[in-house]
Amino acid sequence: DTAVSQTPKYLVTQMGNDKSIKCEQNLGHDTMYWYKQDSKKFLKIMFSYNNKELIINETVPNRFSPKSPDKAHLNLHINSLELGDSAVYFCASSRTVHGYTFGSGTRLTVV
């Protein structure tokens, strides 16, 4: 199946921990993204990478560090997790004129 897949689907962790979310796309897209959906369901971009190069960093705290080992992967590492980091994180990929494809999301709960 051609898709954007992200793991894990659910992540429950304690404050102060470090965690990672992985994302892979097999669509041949050259740009990948992380979006955050907050408790009010509003979706906002965090990062975008084009061909492994960081293009957009939307004033996200530096506890969040994306890493793109190749065009098909974009992982999100979060240090020193805080309660306010609880949200759903979506990975997406695109080739501009073809629109965006989103993963199924990772629900992060910090307790």
Partner 1 sequence: KQEVTQIPAALSVPEGENLVLNCSFTDSAIYNLQWFRQDPGKGLTSLLLIQSSQREQTSGRLNASLDKSSGRSTLYIAASQPGDSATYLCAVNAEYGNKLVFGAGTILRVKS
Binding segment toward partner 1, per CB under 8 A, in 13-21, 64-72, 74-82, 101-109: 101-109
28-56 in b/e form (b: 16+ CB < 10 A) is: ebebbbbbbeeeeeeeeebbbbbeeeeee
Amino acid at 104: S
Return the residue of 21, 24, 31, 32 that touches partner 1, per CB under 8 A.
31
86 sits near partner 1 (criterion: CB under 8 A): no
97 sits near partner 1 (criterion: CB under 8 A): yes
CB of 16 to partner 1, least distance (A): 27
Q: Which residues pair with 90 in a beta bridge?
A: 35
Return the residue of 26, 43, 57, 79 that touches partner 1, per CB under 8 A.
43
101 sits near partner 1 (criterion: CB under 8 A): yes
What are the distances in angstroms from CA 47 to CA 4, 14, 76, 81?
Answer: 16, 24, 10, 18
